[in-house]
Structure 1
Amino acid sequence: MAEENGFLQSVEEAVRSRPQAPAYRAADGTTMAYGELWKLSDAIAAELAARTDDREPVVVLGHKAPLMVAGFLGCLKSGHAFVPVDTEMPAARLMDIVSQLGAPLLAATVPLPEALRGRVPAGRIVDVRAIASAPGTMRAPERSRWVTGEETQYLIFTSGSTGRPKGIEVSARNVACFMAWVRTFPVIAEGGRVFLDQPPYSFDLSEYEVVGALSTGGCLHAVSREETEDLRALFADLRSSGVEVWTSTPSFADLCLADKSFSQEMLPDARLFLFCGEALRHSTAAALRERFPRARIVNTYGPTESTVAVTYVEIGAAQLADARPLPVGTARPGTELFIVDPETGAPCAVGQTGEIVIVGDTVAKGYFRNPEKTAAAFFETRLSDGTPTRGYRTGDAGHLDESGMLYCDGRFDSLVKVNGFRIELEDVEENLGALPLVKQAAVVPVRRKERIVYLKACVVLQERPAGTDFEIGRLIKARLAERVPGYMVPRAVSLVGELPLTCNGKVDRKALAEA
């Protein structure tokens, strides 16, 4: 079974077969070979085991660095789930996560942020930098202590409806099943490939490259937040990176595509673009196919609660010729998808939009220390062959076609009501993105005293036509009105140079709404 060959065992196999091969490298010249990574993770595991006998989650704090990856492995070897926390997080959110964990051990790969000084007892801080500079002679814990099976492998904290982040417990078995699937992907299946390592480790999209690379003897080519904010530095790095597998949100790809030099000439080895985390638009996929003719463009879907992603589809000419939003794929082995009425739970007919329900072996254990919220979204069930498993109610809207291909239709909580009309924001964005004038678009509700008074479209132009911003905005609205009912046309159009991104690489809708 997949869990018998878990993530740690697969990394160990890569270490044995390729100890001198690079496991990690960065633009600043930092590199770490598989043998070094394994030895450092042994030392971290020994220190963690010496500090505590419990198996509580350990926070691993830092940014893009091999010490972070070694920290994850060290946690798993010492029997602890890891909680990746990026230094890019706002201080209040960082503190909220630590407080929800109680008094966790904190493996620091960077100096402690000001917000945590004095808040985390010195005795609970493990200095990974000190371990790396002087690994010591303590023996790593026995293999019997490794995280396995239904034990939690990692905790990812995502946005919660209450304003507090919620922790999602993903088991070692979940990751093993996800890993077994990812290892079958084109290019990745060959082993030893170079992966772009751009999403922060606190965003579960990063598991695509961490699991995909390290379980197949590949190399993580890390890109820091500072690089993503300086395209000149980023592109200079990419030219010599040898990246073959690109994993990111579509928004980060759009940021790069805004520069004409982002092409196969810059990344001659790029052979697989792997997307998840938000909607992939026709314009993005079409631009990538044009500029990277030798690469596959793959769309996937899955919430954090189902271990990164559960569907796969390659986007080719046929999909791009279809005016409908791009499909997100068919279900991976071990997963079944259902569309149900969100109110009654009754099955929806083929082609009918309802709530996406995921059933399968990568559905997470639930929400950390929150049985009420877990019971509301997760449930025990069986696959069609009778295998016991878990299910998850996603809150995402979608439909299946006759072949089982999934199409996402937004989120039920992104349905807004304006002047009595129910409007799906992603529907408006998709139609805006289809206009020749428009490169990117995001639509946000404008509120007054908690009531939505109108919609605002934030638009990045392909090329600026003659006229004032007002005149161009009026033209965009007129063209959009040819595609959607008048009540769906945003009242305001704001022309922007680029759409701001969150640290996870998604469009920062909050910033757009407040601008």
Structure 2
Amino acid sequence: MSLIDIINSHGKSRKNIAAHTYRDSIITYGELKEMSDSLAGYLIEKYGYDDTPIIVYGHKQKEMLVCFLACVKAGHAYIPIDSSLPYERIKDIIDSSGAKMIFSIGDLFHIPPDVSIIYLNEIHELINRYSTYHPEKCYAVKEDNVYYIIYTSGSTGKPKGVQITLSNLNSFVKWGLSLLRQVENSDLIFLNQAPFSFDLSIMDLYLSLASGSTLFSVDKEMIANPKELFSYLNKSQADIWVSTPSFADMCLADKSFNRFLMPKLKVMMFCGEVLNNGSVRKIHERFCGVKVINTYGPTEATVAVTSVEITKEVLDAFDPLPVGYVKSDCHIIIADSEGREVEMGEKGEIVIAGESVSIGYYKNPEITEKVFFKRAIEGKELRCYRTGDEGYIKNNNLHYSGRIDFQVKLNGYRIELEDIESNLRKIDFIENAVVLPVLKEQKIQYLTAAVALNRMVEATEFKTGLLIKNELKKFIPEYMIPRKIVIRESLPMTANGKINRKALMEEIK
């Protein structure tokens, strides 16, 4: 049974169970099925077998889930866009995707004239109009069809869309649920922290929906207000925690984040960036008996492909922590700069092969060909992805050693430093720019931008930095904006004419 069929079946067998809770809003599995069926009916009537992707814009509202499922039931991949993104970024995604329609649960305006937009009140009107509609399975996304497209940071300054098929997603969900097989699985509650436009959310969203559990969402306003956040964490009664390590670290900074706050917590799953030993020690101290699972994987390989439980024994044996053992339908290859597999234990580029690997970037064959390829492994031709991550394997356990190129992970978000640099150069008074990660204990704490100006714009460096940050908000999301801006007369160069990043890194330490 495919994932779509499983979620549909919960609409009958668990029709009165909450599928999603967000603030004071609850949607049951029965309502989720009926509403997504109805909206799919409208899409089928409008587009037939035209499978052009559809953009879904919003934040954590229940209608986001309804639109996701309506799209795939009608044969369309969906493109989630979070309402926190700046307009220029949204426009880039609209232009790149060629989407003909946007479901706007948030207030999205100024879209291209050839794109239809359906706002929240119209979504509900369509659901009522098509309330008796039950879409035929022949229209739904098939195994090899694209289920969703998530746009990530691109080195050209433009985002690129990672295509994930239903087959990719089915593989991930089957594996993800196996990690929770020892958890008592009646009426579980999964915590959702990441925006739906960030692939970490796939872990909590679809493991929850596939298991007939409840997804409990916290939003950006709660996260900005610790008192409100902790109130909702307590209210959630969550069994399964899914987040970046940085979000957990933020919570752990407050000593009241403990078993009394979340008494039912059974499992904490982490992905998106490096999980530190110190963080896990605090979790073990404050949440006695909780199972901590560390995972690894890029968006291009469907969220995660390795996992390991961080027991006290693992915690004491490794620093930094390993990222785990590869799932059964995938392979990890460690390759040198020529693409040749290195000896066991040697460092090299992490290459992922198998069922989780994406079919490539949407409408971007040039970049797809650079990092995706096919290779015969154990007599079977498999899709492969060059991650740009460095690592090594010891006793079948993968260890992550950082980035080979200029891509970094910050607070769980994958960011191309060249993307920020490209957008910095769009500011008319900036001559040149370089962005550098600032590390502490092998983890990126924040980003610093060193910029050379073509003219003075403010009396002080502090005021100039604030102006640059405000200008940058027009082009990129807030999580990509460097915390520190350093103004220089010129940027140091290497002998071959490139910016000397190493010299700058030494200066800003």
- How far 1:10 moved relative to its partner? 1.4
Aligned with 2:372 (options 378, 393, 398)? 378
The answer to which of 45-54 and 268-277 deviates more is 45-54
Distance in 2 separating the partners of 1:226 and 1:444:
23
Partner AA of 2:450 in structure 1: R
Do 1:67 and 1:129's aligned partners in 2 also have CA atoms closer than 8 Å? no
Secondary structure class of the residue paired with 1:514: strand
Secondary structure class of the residue paired with 1:176: helix
For residues 226-260 of structure 1, the C-alpha deviation after alignment (integer angstroms, 9 at most, x for no partner) is 11111111111111211011111011111111111
Secondary structure class of the residue paired with 1:392: strand
Do 1:95 and 1:115's aligned partners in 2 also have CA atoms closer than 8 Å? no
Aligned to 1:312: 307
- Is 1:85 the equivalent of 2:88? no
Aligned to 1:465: none
- Is 1:126 the equivalent of 2:118? yes
Distance in 2 separating the partners of 1:301 and 1:180:
16
The answer to which of 177-186 and 157-166 deviates more is 177-186
Superposition map of 1:284-433 within 5 A? 284-322=279-317, 324-341=319-336, 343-384=337-378, 386-401=379-394, 403-414=395-406, 429-430=440-441
The answer to which of 286-295 and 66-75 deviates more is 286-295
Distance in 1 separating the partners of 2:299 and 2:66:
22
Distance in 1 separating the partners of 2:8 and 2:187:
14
Secondary structure class of the residue paired with 2:76: coil
Aligned to 2:28: 33
Aligned with 1:166 (options 160, 163, 166)? 160
For residues 67-104 of structure 1, the C-alpha deviation after alignment (integer angstroms, 9 at most, x for no partner) is 00010000010000000011011111011100112242
Do 2:11 and 2:31's aligned partners in 1 also have CA atoms closer than 8 Å? no
Distance of aligned partners of 1:120 and 1:59 in 2 relative to their CA distance in 1, 3 Å threshold: farther
- Could you tell me the percent identity over the aligned residues? 34
Aligned with 2:251 (options 256, 272, 275)? 256
Aligned to 1:196: 191
Distance of aligned partners of 1:351 and 1:103 in 2 relative to their CA distance in 1, 3 Å threshold: closer
Aligned to 2:468: none
Superposition map of 1:172-187 within 5 A? 172-186=166-180
Distance of aligned partners of 1:21 and 1:306 in 2 relative to their CA distance in 1, 3 Å threshold: same
Superposition map of 1:135-150 within 5 A? 135-137=128-130, 139-150=133-144
Alignment: residue pair count: 433
For residues 162-217 of structure 1, the C-alpha deviation after alignment (integer angstroms, 9 at most, x for no partner) is 11100011001000111111111226672531000110000010000111000010
Aligned to 2:65: 69
- Is 1:274 the equivalent of 2:269? yes
Aligned to 1:474: none
Give the TM-score taking structure 1 as reference length: 0.80
Distance of aligned partners of 1:120 and 1:103 in 2 relative to their CA distance in 1, 3 Å threshold: farther
Distance in 2 separating the partners of 1:328 and 1:237:
30
Partner AA of 1:442 in structure 2: Q
For residues 292-316 of structure 1, the C-alpha deviation after alignment (integer angstroms, 9 at most, x for no partner) is 1121111000000000000010111
- How far 1:383 moved relative to its partner? 3.3
Do 1:200 and 1:206's aligned partners in 2 also have CA atoms closer than 8 Å? yes
Do 2:447 and 2:482's aligned partners in 1 also have CA atoms closer than 8 Å? no
Secondary structure class of the residue paired with 2:10: helix
Distance of aligned partners of 1:429 and 1:322 in 2 relative to their CA distance in 1, 3 Å threshold: farther
Aligned to 1:442: 445
Distance of aligned partners of 1:448 and 1:136 in 2 relative to their CA distance in 1, 3 Å threshold: closer
Do 2:53 and 2:99's aligned partners in 1 also have CA atoms closer than 8 Å? no
Do 1:251 and 1:507's aligned partners in 2 also have CA atoms closer than 8 Å? no
Give the TM-score taking structure 2 as reference length: 0.81
Partner AA of 1:339 in structure 2: I
Gaps of 5+ in 1: 417-423, 434-440, 451-501
Distance in 1 separating the partners of 2:269 and 2:253:
19
Superposition RMSD on alpha carbons, in Å? 2.3
Partner AA of 2:304 in structure 1: A
Distance in 2 separating the partners of 1:382 and 1:330:
21
- How far 1:131 moved relative to its partner? 3.3
Distance in 1 separating the partners of 2:113 and 2:289:
50
Do 1:415 and 1:425's aligned partners in 2 also have CA atoms closer than 8 Å? no
For residues 321-352 of structure 1, the C-alpha deviation after alignment (integer angstroms, 9 at most, x for no partner) is 135311000101101101010x2112112221
